[in-house]
Amino acid sequence: MNSGLVANRYARALLVFAHQQNALERVHADVLRLQKALQEELAHSGNDGILATCIPQLGPEVQQFLRVVAMNGRADNLPAMLRQFLIHYNQEKGIATASLVSAAPLPSLEKKLLALLHDKGYTDVDFTTSIDPSLIGGFILQIEDQRLDASLASQLKLLKKELEDRNRRII
Amino acid sequence: MEQIKPSEISEVLLRQLQGVDLSVGYEEVGQVLQVSDGVVRLSGLTHAEAGELLEFDNGLMAVVMNLEEDNVGAVLLGPTDRIEEGMTAHRTRRIASIEVGEKMVGRVVDPLGHPLDGKGVILGEKFEMPLERKAPGVIYRQPVSEPLQTGLKAIDAMIPIGRGQRELIIGDRQTGKTAIAIDTIINQRANFEAGRPVYCIYVAIGQKGSTVAGIVETLRKRGAMDYTIVVSATAADPAALQYYAPFAGAAIGEYFRDTGRHALVVYDDLSKQAVAYREVSLVLRRPSGREAYPGDIFYLHSRLLERAAKIINQQEVAEKMNDLPESLRGRVRPGGSLTALPIIETQAGDVAAYIPTNVISITDGQIFLETDLFNQGFRPAINVGISVSRVGGSAQVKSMKKVAGTLKIDQAQYRELESFTKFSSDMDTVTSLTIDKGRKNNQLLIQPQYSPMPVGEQVAILYCGTRGLMKDISVSRVQEFQTEFLNRMRLMHRADALEPLAAGRIDADIQRIIETVAAEVIQRIKVKEEVE
C-alpha cells in the first residue's frame, strides 16, 4: 500500500542530496544506467552479471544511496525509486518525455511535432522514435501519459470491433 | 430462403461504416508495472478516478481500486495471464456499470451483463446502471407496508418479510439456505400470472458452475425463469467478478425498483463475496484487520444492502431521487421496491464470527437454519427462537396476523415445557395440551422443497393448528389431515374462504367454514384409524 510513498521519499532525498553534492547530472546519468542494468538483469537477457559490473562504475552519490536503501531493507522498492527520481528530475528541469512510433521513418513529421511541442510550452523534450511496421500506416504519439493513436492498425481494430458489436446478432 | 444480394450487404456495411466515429484524440494511458493474481499496478493514468473502467490494448477490462502516489492499482475483469508487464491501458471515462433492460428477464448473465446461457445477445432498449451507486436517501423511502410471500408457512406466519426489507438467511452448509430462497422465487409465479410481477434476481457468487446450472434448470422447470434473472460469478471466475456480482444484482434490481416495479434479489452467498474481496484487498496490499478481512468489509456489505428499499409513493418526490443514473431520467415511477435476501454460511453454527455478526447487524432480521433440526426432519430447518423479522410484522397479511400472531410465542413456550418434561413423566392437563398442540404445530410447519403454499391456504391450515382443532388426532396423522383439509377447502370453499383469507379478511363465517371442514376431516381420519 505504501510502496509509492516510500519510493517517493527516497527519490526526493536523492534529488536533494545530488543538489547538495553539486552532482545532479552525474546522478541522473547513473540512475539511468542503473535502471537499464536492473531491467536487463531482471529480464534474464543473457547478459548475466550486468548489475554486478555496473554498480562499481557508479558515482559515490548513487553508491551511498544504494547503501542506505540496502541498510533500510527497501531494495524491493528500488525500481520505483529510480522511476520516481527521473519523474522529479524531469519536472525540475521542465523536460517532457515524448515518443513517436511510426510504420516508416517520418523525419519531416518528427520535426513538425517537435516544433508543435515547443509551441505548446514543452521547452525541453526527451524525444524517442521507433519504427513498428505492424502499425501499417500512421503513427502513435505519446507525450507523458497522453497518447494520440493515429495508426492505421488501431483504426482497423476499432472498425472491426464496431462492426462486430453492431452485427453480433448474425455472427 | 431468399438469396442475399452482395449489393445489399455492401450498402448495409457502408451505412454502418459511415456511423463509425474514427476521429482520433488524446487519451490518457498507463503502463503495467506489475501483475499479480487478478491485480495490476500501472504507472501514468494521473487523472484516473476510483471505480473507473480501464481498457487494455487487447480488449481486457480492469477497474481502478487504488490510487497511490506514483501508481494506480486496478483489478482485472478477465484472466491474469493475458496481461504482461509493459502493456498499455487507457482510461474509458466510464465507471463500472451494467446494461439492464426488459429483455434481460429469463437470462443468465455475468456481473458485466454479458449473456452466459448461449441464447445470443440481449436485445431491446438498455439502460446503463452503475454497479456502485448510493442508496436512496430517507426522503425517497417509505416504511415497509406490503408483504412478500415466501410460500413457506414457517416464514410467512412467524418471520414475515415485507417488500423493501433485507432479511438474512443464515446457517451452516447443507441446511437449506438456498432452498428457502429458491422457494421464494418460485412462489412469485402467482404474482407474475396476476400481472403484478415481482422480478427476481438470483446472484450466485463463488458457487460451482454445475450448481448454478442446476438452479437455473429448477427455476426453468417451475416456470420461474419468466420473471427471473440469474447473475453468475462462479468459483472459476476472477475474484474481482465475484466481488462485483452482488453489485450487479443490486443494479439490476434498482432498475425495476426505480421504474415503479417490485424486485427481489437473492445474494447467494455474501460470505464468499467477502472472501473474494479479502483476496483482492490483500493482493492490493491494503492493511488487514480481523480474520484478515480489510477494514471496509462492513461498509462493503452495508452499502450493498442499503440499496434494498421501498420507494416513496409520490411521483414528484421519487423522480428527484438522489444519484439517479442519467439513463433513468424521466422514467422514474413511485412505489417500487427492492427486497434483499442475503445468504451467509456459518462454520459449525458460529454466528459470532466476523462476517455473520456484521451482516446480522445490517439486516432487518434473520432466518436462522440449524443442522440438528434439518436432520430431525424439520424442514425448512428454521430455529424459530432466534429468527426474527424486525420490520415485516407491519406488512403481514391481516388474516395471517390474527391467526398466527401468537404462534411464535406459543412454540417458544412449548419448547420450554418439552425440555422440562424430559425430567418427569407426570404433568397436568394444561401442560400436556400445550405440548400436544406444539408438537402438532411443529409437524404443520414442515414443508417439502419446491412446494410453496398460497397465503389463503396457509392461514386456513394454521388456524386449525393455533386453535387446537387437531387435538383428537395423533401427531403422525397431521400431514394427512393437512392434505385432506386443504383438498376440501380448495374444492369447496375457494371463493368463500380461501380468497377472502388471502385478501386479509377473516370473520365468523370463514372461521365456521374452517371449523366445519376440519371436524369432517378429523372424523374421517378417526374412522380410518379404527379400521386400521
Tens-place pLDDT, residues A10-29: 999 999 999 999 999 999 99
Asked if B123's CB is within 8 angstroms of A169's CB, the reply is yes
Phi then psi for residue B492, to 5 deg, are -110, -25
From B222, B390, B439, B505, active-site residue: B390
In this predicted structure, what is the pLDDT of residue B209? 95
Other C-beta atoms lying within 10 Å of the C-beta of residue B445: 22
- For B365, left (φ over 0), alpha (ψ -120 to 50), or beta? left
Count of CB contacts below 8 A, A vs B? 72
Residues of B in contact with A148 (CB under 8 A): 24-27
Among the listed residues B442, B386, B371, the one whose alpha carbon sits nearest the alpha carbon of residue B171? B371
- Nearest CB among B13, B24, B287 relative to A148 is that of B24
Angstrom CA distances, A103 to A132, B86, B273, B337, stand at: 5, 20, 47, 57
B205 CA: distance to closest CA in chain A (Å): 27
Rg, chain B, Cα only: 27
Residues of B in contact with A4 (CB under 8 A): 68-71
3-class SS of residue B171: strand
Q: What is residue B18's DSSP assignment?
A: H
Among the listed residues B499, B484, B487, B489, the one whose alpha carbon sits nearest the alpha carbon of residue B190? B499
Q: Quick one: cell of A87?
A: 519523474
Asked if A145's CB is within 8 angstroms of B44's CB, the reply is yes
Supply the angle between the helices B429-444 and B455-466 in degrees, to the nearest 10.
160
Task: Look up the pTM and report it.
Answer: 0.90
Residues of A in contact with B40 (CB under 8 A): none
Q: Note down pLDDT in tens along chain B; length 532 residues.
A: 556 555 556 776 677 777 767 677 889 999 999 899 899 999 989 999 999 999 998 889 999 999 988 889 999 999 999 999 889 999 999 999 999 999 999 999 999 999 999 898 898 999 999 999 999 999 999 999 999 999 999 999 999 999 999 999 999 999 999 999 999 999 999 999 999 999 999 999 999 999 999 999 999 999 999 999 999 999 999 999 999 999 999 999 999 999 999 999 999 999 999 999 999 999 998 999 999 999 999 999 999 999 999 999 999 999 999 999 999 999 999 999 999 999 999 999 999 999 999 999 999 999 999 999 999 999 999 999 899 999 999 999 999 999 999 999 999 899 888 888 877 677 888 888 999 999 999 999 999 999 999 999 999 999 999 999 999 999 999 999 999 999 999 999 999 999 999 999 999 999 999 999 999 999 999 999 888 8
The Cα B122–Cα B131 span in angstroms is 19
Residue ranges of the alpha helices (H) in B85-176?
A: 153-158
The Cα A39–Cα B340 span in angstroms is 51
In this predicted structure, what is the pLDDT of residue A119? 82
Q: Are B324 and B336 in contact (CB under 8 A)?
A: no
- Nearest CB among A8, A155, A158 relative to B70 is that of A8
- Nearest CB among A4, A149, A150 relative to B71 is that of A4
Residues of B in contact with A83 (CB under 8 A): 43, 70
B329 CA: distance to closest CA in chain A (Å): 26
Instruction: Look at residue A168 and tell me whether its pLDDT is greater than 80.
Output: no
B393 CA: distance to closest CA in chain A (Å): 47
Asked if B29's CB is within 8 angstroms of A146's CB, the reply is yes
Cβ density class B417-439: b for 16+ within 10 Å, e for less = beeeeeeeeeeeeeeeebbbbbe
A33 CA: distance to closest CA in chain B (Å): 19
DSSP labels, B421-436:
HTT-S---HHHHHHHH
Q: Quick one: cell of A120?
A: 505548446
Q: Are B128 and B95 in contact (CB under 8 A)?
A: no
- Nearest CB among B20, B24, B121 relative to A162 is that of B20
ipTM above threshold 0.85 = no
Sign of dihedral through CA atoms B245, B251, B257, B261? Answer: negative
Asked if A5's CB is within 8 angstroms of B22's CB, the reply is no
- Nearest CB among B20, B28, B123 relative to A159 is that of B20
Asked if A163's CB is within 8 angstroms of B70's CB, the reply is no
Among the listed residues B487, B489, B488, B469, the one whose alpha carbon sits nearest the alpha carbon of residue B478? B469
Rg, chain A, Cα only: 21
**Would residue B141 show up in a list of annotated catalytic residues for this protein?**
no
- Identity of residue B358: N
Other C-beta atoms lying within 10 Å of the C-beta of residue A21: 14
A80, closest residue in chain B (CA to CA): B70
Residues of B with CB under 8 A from a CB of A: 13, 16-17, 20, 22, 24-30, 33, 43-46, 59, 66, 68-71, 88, 90, 120-121, 123, 284-287
B66 CA: distance to closest CA in chain A (Å): 9
